[in-house]
Amino acid sequence: MAVFGTAGIYAQDTGAKQDIKNAGSESKDAAKDTGKAVEKGAKKTGHEVKKGAKKTGHEVKKGTHKAAEKVEEKTQ
């Protein structure tokens, strides 16, 4: 009976050890998923900022060109 009792404790110890390993793996996977989501969001935000800045630059260029034409008309 003593042998069976010891084997039962060992089996429970292994189960607890595996549970801890599983929890660590799940935490690692969750951290990876979070990192990927942050990366995707940052890329999207960066792309939208670039797109907006480019559009603004074009609008400024058009406005400057229009103003230059008006000045040229008045000086003739």
pLDDT digits (tens, 9 = 90+) for 27-38: 999 999 999 999
> What is the token pair recorded at 19?
């549970």
CA 31 to chain centre: 11
> What is the token pair recorded at 76?
């003739």
Higher pLDDT: 34 or 8? It is: 34
CA separation, residue 58 to residues 41, 50, 51, 65, 68 (Å): 26, 12, 11, 11, 15
Average the pLDDT over each of 13-22, 25-34, 63-72 and give the range with the smallest value: 13-22
The model's pTM is 0.52
Q: What length does the chain have?
A: 76
